[in-house]
Chain A
Amino acid sequence: MSASPAPAAPARRLAVALLPALFGLLLQVATLPARAEDVLRLFNWNNYVSQDTLDRFEVQCRCRVLQDYYSDNEEMLAKLAAGASGYDIIVPTGNAVETLIRQGALRPLDRARLPHFSNLNAAFLDSFFDPGNRYSVPYAYTITLLGYNADRLDALGLPHDSWAVLFEPRYLEKLRGRVTVLDSPRELMAAALLYLGYRVNDADEAHWRAARDLIIRAKPYWASFSNSSYIKELTVGNIWLAHGYSNDMFVAAQDAAKAGRPFKVAFSTPKEGAVLALDNMVLHKSGPRPDLALAFMDFMLDGRNSAELSNLIGSGNPNAAAMPFIRPEIAGNRAVFPDAASVKRLEMLRDLDRQRRRVLNRMWVEIKLR
Chain B
Amino acid sequence: MPKRSAERTTRWLVSGPPTLFMLLFFLAPSLIMVLASFRYPGTFGGLAPMFGAGRPGEDTGLTLENYRFFLSDFIYVEIFIKSFAVALLSTLICLLMAYPLALLIARSPKGRRDLMVLLVILPFASNFLIRVYALMILLGPQQALATSLNGALALFGLGRVNLLFSSFAVVVGMVYVHLPFMVLPLYTNLEKHDPALLDAAQDLGANGWQRFWRVTFPLSLPGIFSGSALVFIPVLGMFAIPDLLGGTRDILIGNLIKDQFLGTRDWPFGSMLSIMLTVVVLGFAAIAARLSRRDGAREEA
Contact = CB atoms under 8 A, between A and B. Distances in A.
A366 B249 CA distance: 10
Interface in B258-272: 259-260, 262-266, 269
Interface residues of B, number: 41
Nearest to B247: A224
B75 A365 contact: yes
B79 A365 contact: yes
Contacts of A237: 142
Interface stretch (A70-78, A202-210, A264-272): A70-78
B49 interface: no
Given A229-B244, A353-B43, A353-B57, A370 B141 contact: no
Contact of B73 (A81, A225, A362, A370): A362
A224 B170 CA distance: 12
Contacts of B218: none
Nearest to B259: A361
Interface string B162-194: 101100000000000000000000000000000
Given A361-B259, A362-B73, A364-B259, A354 B40 contact: yes
A41 interface: no
B44 A77 contact: yes
B251 interface: yes
A224 B46 contact: no
B45 A78 contact: yes
Contacts of B78: 369
Contacts of B262: 72, 74-75
Contacts of B275: none
A177 B162 contact: yes
Contact of B43 (A354, A358, A364): A354
A365 B141 contact: no
Interface in A319-354: 351, 353-354
Interface string B34-46: 0000001111111
A184 B258 CA distance: 12
Interface stretch (A61-69, A215-223, A249-257): A215-223
B243 interface: yes
- Most chain B CB within 10 A, of A77, A229, A236, A368, is at A368
Nearest to A215: B248
A36 B156 CA distance: 77
Given A177-B141, A238-B141, A364-B259, A369 B251 contact: yes
Given A358-B264, A365-B76, A219 B243 contact: no
Contacts, number: 92
A361 B259 CA distance: 8
B265 A74 contact: yes
B140 A368 contact: no
A222 B75 contact: no
B223 interface: no
A368 B44 contact: no
A98 to B, nearest CB: 9
A223 B247 contact: yes
B70 to A, nearest CB: 11
B57 A229 contact: no
Contacts of B249: 219, 368-370
A223 B162 contact: yes
A220 B255 CA distance: 20
Contacts of A2: none
A322 B266 CA distance: 40
A102 B269 contact: no
- Most chain A CB within 10 A, of B136, B165, B244, is at B165
A184 B243 CA distance: 12
A358 B248 CA distance: 21
Given A361-B259, A361-B264, A366-B75, A220 B41 contact: no
Contacts of B76: 365
Given A357-B264, A365-B76, 13 more contacts: A102-B55, A185-B264, A219-B248, A223-B248, A236-B140, A237-B142, A238-B140, A238-B142, A354-B41, A358-B264, A361-B266, A361-B269, A368-B248
Complex A-B, nearest 7 residue pairs according to Cβ-Cβ distance, in ascending order: A368-B251, A224-B165, A361-B264, A223-B165, A354-B41, A177-B162, A219-B248
Interface of B: 40-46, 55, 57, 69, 73, 75-76, 78-79, 82, 136, 140-142, 160, 162, 164-165, 243-244, 246-249, 251, 255-256, 259-260, 262-266, 269
25 contacts: A74-B45, A77-B44, A78-B45, A78-B46, A102-B44, A185-B263, A219-B249, A222-B247, A223-B164, A224-B247, A229-B136, A236-B140, A237-B142, A238-B142, A351-B44, A357-B41, A357-B264, A358-B264, A361-B263, A361-B269, A362-B73, A365-B75, A365-B251, A368-B248, A368-B251
